[in-house]
Every structure is written in structure tokens, then in C-alpha cells.
Amino acid sequence: MDVFSTLSSGGYSLAGTTVINTVDMHTGGEPTRIIVKGYPSLEGNTLLEKRTYAREKLDGLRQRLMREPRGHKEMYGAILVPQTEKTRSGDADIGILFCHNEGYSTMCGHATIALGRFLVDTQDEAIFPRRQQIVCDPVKRECMVRLHAPCGVVDVTVPTLQDGGRVQSDPEREVHFISVRSFASATGVVIEVPEELLWPELRDTGRRAVEVDLAYGGAFYVVVEEQQLGFGRVREGEVDLKRLDAATAAVKQLVGAKKELFQGHGLEHDLEYLYGVIVVEKEEGEVGLGGLEGRLGVCFFADQQVDRSPTGSGVSARVALARAKGLLGERERVRFDSPLSARVGCEAGAFVGSGVGAERPQPDPALLNTDPPTADNIADDAAKVNIVSPDFKQDPATETSTQDVPSGAPIPSGGRRRRYIDEVEREGFYVGNLAKQYLLHPGVAGGLIGLINLGLVSGAAYKFYNDPHLRRDTRAIVSAVAGALTLLSAEGYAAEKYRETPRGQREAEKVKREGAAIYRTAREHVLRPGVLGGLLGVLNAGVLGAVGYLSYTNWDRPTWDRRIVSAVSVGLLTLWGSEGYIAERYRSTHH
């Protein structure tokens, strides 16, 4: 893991040249540039004081690390700070400063996940002085790294495996973290939008105000539904992100000016500001992990940077908000998607969050030592090395936990049998979810049901055709009819129950929109005079051709059925009269 990129201010190693070593990672597509060596020493007794020093004295380095040509607008960074007040007190293993295209943030979930893997994998104690002191559980095969972020201490649980006696992160299992205290700051806040900040989509709705919620998950976020801003569904690709950028920038400016919304929560003054705006889908009913679709959100943070991941600290805030609204029970899990993870499908890139307890777990001192795990003492069940207390997962720490999904990287050799059992279980879960995602999609399920119905009807018809006595068997006829009615009723009941769910309602709205679009397109093209006239001409030619053919083939009949002749004559006169009436009505219009 200790493979670095070297960034410098020039192409030559000259005296005075700043050389910085970094490791680039990503979580769900969102980058994390970890600054591991070469960054100047940060003055200050506390992490927040060091953050202030970096902002005031070293911001040029941040800009060179984040911006072109070494970075880009969406780059995100993490500066390792080995010594903080929390590491000195033993409450944390290492400090972290987060940075982005605008400045320095207070919390970042996707970077926390990346940092957890990196800090377990690195063996360089110059980078991570407390590397051999992190708490590891050889039975559960995981390590806990305590990160001191500007918002507080975040406990990161990293799955591990053995590779030649060396502990490293397991890329096939998820990273979890227990975030800081998260809460809903305000709900249903109505923001009046002045004319100079009004965006076209909101103006088109006839409204001049939007309703938003405010929540904290290590940083403050505005959470607003896409319809409130006047936009369609982001999930369906109906939204231009550039236009959404302008709308969220206006919302951030208006809400950020209301300082009272961020005060009075027992936070440090440096944390009392609006960090980002998350545009979400309309929440309908409970939001637990019952369906395959995640709760989509697009996060604009800092200087309108777009998060490619589902935003870890935003997930913490959204879980707290859902708990406050009664939409999510304690420890109930919910999946969150970004547009990127939603497009990839299944679980790739998604985060899963849940509300948990309020007391931070502490390792049992009696189970700890500073010796690194070895093959011998891990195999000996009596020799517990760096074991966390048994209630670590049963009584977790704060309001929110977040996890990422497997990376798909190859598994190094040296794992135990249980690891392969876990792998089979994960693959089975993945295949099951994949099958449900595609087979239970309304269109696919409807097509399969149609094929089943067609097969049953065809089979019954074939049976009745080949066995003439069945046509006179009342019991067989009644049984076939009853079975068909039962099947169709069950399918109708299942379809109606699905339609009542939030996802079913969204599908129904989507079908209505698509049907309306098809109707408008057909009306625009089919009802044009030339096209409609041509279709009527073809219809007339077909009718006259059929009448002529029947007359020709039956010309030698001695008598004609006057009822047939009358019916054909009346039909033709009615058809032509209707066409003439429609043509006259059309001519009298202003077209």
C-alpha cells in the first residue's frame, strides 16, 4: 500500500522545493488524495487550531494539491496529523484534516472509508506512529481505527485478512464507521427566494419559496426534495446538473445566511456553518432497506463540488433526519445512492446507514497489548491480541454508521476457511439481489406473467381441441374457468398491492409520463393532414378491395342475401360520411 505519488513545485530537486507524497484512493468514485509526507508542520494545540493555521498560512499548498494540473474541481484531500489533543489523551489513533476545492471541511465519510483501509494497510510508522497499537480482533478479522476529525472522533472498523503473517485490509468486505452525534437541526424551513436569485425551474412552478430541512452529520447539510426546486426526477435523467447547480447555489446562499440555524447545538464555533446541499427524492412512507432501490441524493458541497459517492457525512445527516421524522427505526438500515451508484446498479458504490446508540464503545484494557498479531497467537484462542470488548458491535457509539461495498479486488492468499464461507454467502446475496433487481422489475415481471398466462391459455386450448369429450365435460370447463379467474385475480391483487407502494407509485407516474409522451408524439405525427389522409385512403382501399373480392368470388350465386348487401352499403356510406364530416370540421378550423 505504501506506493506514493510525488508532487512538487518544480521538475527538479532543488533546495527549497516543496515535495509532497500522496496516495490517491476513491470510494464509490469519489477521490481521496491522502497527503502522507512532506506537508509542513501544523502549529496549534488542538486539531481545530491546526486547521485554522493550515487555512491561514498554508492554503497555497491546498490549492496546488487540489486544483489543476495536479488535481481537478472534484478533488478531495485528507491531511494526516499524527499528533492531536485526542491522540495525546489516548482517545484517537491519528488526526485528519479534510480539504477540497474551496477550503477545509469538518467531516467526510467517503474519505473516512478510504483512510481506514489505508491506515490498516500501511506499515510505515513514520506515517502512522500508532500503527501497531490499533485495536484488532483476530476472531472477527477486523481492526478499529479511531480517527480524530475536526468534528470529533470517528471509529472506523476495517475488515482484515492475513497475508504471510501480516494483517491487511480485506477488499472483499465492507468498511464501517460510527460517526459523531448526528441530529436534525430544523425541518420544514420555508425559504423565500428573491427575484435576483430565482432560477427558471422554480419560476415555472409559480412559487417563490422552497421548503427545506437542515441536518448535521459531522457537517451541516440542507436536504431538499427535487420537486421543491422545480425539477423532475434525477434518477430518470430528467435533470440538467448545471441547472441544478445554480439552484442549489442559491439555496445554499439563502440558508447559509441564517446563522441562527447552526447555533445552539453544543458545537464548536468552527463547525457552525452550512457545508452542502443534498437534493433528494420525495420520501413516501418508511425508508428502511426493504426495496432494492436506494434513496438517491445529489450533494453539492464547498464551492459547488459534486460528490460522486452517496456522501458519508450526508448519509449520517439523512439518517438522523429520517429518525426525527419517524421514517426510520433504531438500527434499521437504509441504502443511499448517488447518481453514479444508481446508474451502476445493484450495490456497487452504495452506502448503507442506520441510527444506533449514543454511547461511544471503548476497548477493554484487559484485552489489549501493543504486540502485532502473529500466526501463532491468532491460532491460540487463549491468547487474545488487541481484542475489542465483546459488546463493541452490540452497543455502538453514536447516531449513525455507514459502510461501503466490496471493491472487487483479488483476495491475497493466507485467509481462513471462514473467509471463503463468507465469500460464498456474499456472492449468493449478490446473485439474489441481482436476480430480484432484474426479474422483479415491473416490465420484466409483467412480461414473465404474460408468458405464463399465454402458456396456460394455449395449453388449455390445445387440450380442449385435441380431446372433444372435454368440451362436453362441465367439471373440466368449470375447473378451467375457475383456475383462470383465480390466477388473474391473484395477479391483479399483487399488481394493485405493488401500485400502492412508493416504488409502485413512482413506476405508475413514470408510465403515465411515458404514455403521455407517446400519445403526444403519435398525435403530432399521425394527425397531420397528409399522414391522416393517407391512412384514410389506405383504409378505404382496403375496405373496397375486400368488398370487391367477395363480390367477385360470389358473382355466380343465383341470389344475393339482401341483408348482406344492405349492411355493406350502410357501412360504406357511414364510413365515407364520417370521413367527410371530419374533413369538413378540420377545414373549418384555423389550421
Active site residues: 108
Q: How far apart are CA 474 and CA 478, in angstroms?
A: 6
C-alpha separations of 207 from 43, 105, 136, 181, 318 in Å: 50, 33, 55, 35, 26
Cα 324 versus chain centre, distance? 21
List CB contacts of 429: < 8 A, sequence separation 6 or more.
Answer: none
DSSP assignment of 279-326 equals EEPPP-S--STTSSS-EEEEEEETTTEEPSS--HHHHHHHHHHHHHTT
Cis? peptide before 69, omega within 30° of 0: yes
Render the burial of 221-234: b for 16+ CB within 10 Å, e for the rest: bbbbbbebbbbebb
Three-class secondary structure of residue 96 per DSSP: strand
Single out the residue of 202, 315, 294 nearest to residue 254, CA to CA: 202
Q: How far apart are CA 568 and CA 577, in angstroms?
A: 14
Side chain identity, residue 584: E
C-alpha separations of 367 from 147, 155, 392, 529 in Å: 21, 18, 13, 86
Q: Which three cell numbers stand for residue 391?
A: 459488546
**Number of helices and strands in the chain (H, E):** 15, 20
Number of Cβ within 10 Å of residue 472's Cβ equals 8
Single out the residue of 548, 547, 536, 542 nearest to residue 576, CA to CA: 536
The residue assigned the cell 439523512 is: 318
Through-space distance between the first and last CA atoms of the chain, rounded to whole angstroms: 72
Three-class secondary structure of residue 412 per DSSP: coil
Three-class secondary structure of residue 155 per DSSP: strand
Q: What is the largest CA-CA distance in the chain?
A: 117
C-alpha separations of 542 from 125, 470, 527, 545, 580 in Å: 88, 40, 20, 5, 18
Single out the residue of 38, 35, 590, 503 nearest to residue 235, CA to CA: 503
Single out the residue of 292, 275, 277 nearest to residue 337, CA to CA: 292
- Burial-class residue 538 by CB neighbours within 10 Å (0-12, 13-18, 19+): exposed
The residue assigned the cell 415481471 is: 445
Cα 369 versus chain centre, distance? 40
Strand 152-163 and strand 333-337: pairing? unpaired
